[in-house]
Amino acid sequence: MSIFTGSAVALVTPFKEDGAVDFEQLKSLVEYHVANKTDAIVICGTTGEASTMTEEEHMEVIAKCVEYTAKRIPVIAGTGSNCTETAIKLSKEAQEVGADALLVVTPYYNKATQGGLIKHYTAIANAVDLPIIMYNVPGRTGCNIQPATAVTLAKNVKNIVAIKEASGNISQVVKLAQLADGCIDIYSGNDDQVVPLLSLGGKGVISVTANIIPEDTHDMVQKYLDGDVAGSLALQLKAIDLCDAMFCEVNPIPVKKAVALAGLCNGYVRMPMTEAEPSSVEKIKKAMTEYGVKIVAE
């Protein structure tokens, strides 16, 4: 059974002006997504700025998200690291605090061979009982999970059940779908490629843009799965300019500004992230306004 079908939000982590995690706003965000059709929450991923958190903060944010969500939708905890032992430790702790599944990014900076990836993911999976989504985002990590590697892992490690495909390479996903023949769930990791991934048998999307258009992102997937391909495509095409705006600077800078403009939470980021440039802010505002997302704060 799939961890989720539909739209999982790659949730931003709200910070206070002094850099501390704003748990009151985090609770508000969880309630917003539960009420607006989001099918799962990915906490402490790239968009959640986990790379700037201490291990203690990382676990507290996951634990609070689990508490606030109260099993109404799955919580998928980001626990990846470029150190296998660290990833194992984080994964065990996320299981202990009640996460429903794990999102594990490939090793970054030091990278890994394909054989190394098999050993890395197998070691993490064997240390926990939770289902694991592998996260393939070579543009950020410099490390690509080849289709044959993903399939080998899915077929040989019982709790490696899915992959978030953010390579942007549709041909690679086609090959993955062919080799997998249904043995692994595929989620789009690119908001502008949801419908193409669904057409290849994908189960949904782990979405940045869902931070501000959760209901439409859910509907984009659900319409496709219900057979309304035209309706799904219409939502995909409508969202393209908004998706582009969410990546006009490095993620999560633009989406942090967008959630602040929408009045969902403040937009503070942690260094080395910085506030969006004025030209980017204008692009974000324009895309939000044209889409129909109300701007309530500056």
Residues identified as active-site: 135, 164
What is the C-alpha to C-alpha distance for residues 203 and 219, in angstroms, rounded to an integer?
13
Q: Are 213 and 220 in contact (CB under 8 A)?
A: no
**How remote is the C-alpha of 257 from its chain's centroid?**
18
Distance CA 25, CA 266 (A): 8
Indicate the SS3 state at residue 142: coil
Beta-carbon contacts of 176 under 8 Å, excluding residues fewer than 6 positions away, are 147, 150, 151, 163, 165, 184, 186
The contacts of residue 277 (CB under 8 Å, 6+ apart) are 249
Residue 48 near residue 13 (C-beta atoms within 8 A) = yes
Question: How far apart (Å, rounded) are the C-alpha atoms in residues 120 and 85?
Answer: 9
Interacting residues of 56 by C-beta distance below 8 A, sequence separation 6+: none
| Structure tokens belonging to residue 173 | 């996903």
Give the burial class of 173: count Cβ atoms within 10 A of its Cβ; 0-12 exposed, 13-18 middle, 19 or more buried.
Answer: buried
The one-letter amino acid at 46: T
Tokens of 109: 């900076």
Cβ count near 169 (within 10 Å): 15
Tokens standing for 104?
A: 């594990």
Q: Beta 6-10 vs 160-165: how paired, if at all?
A: unpaired
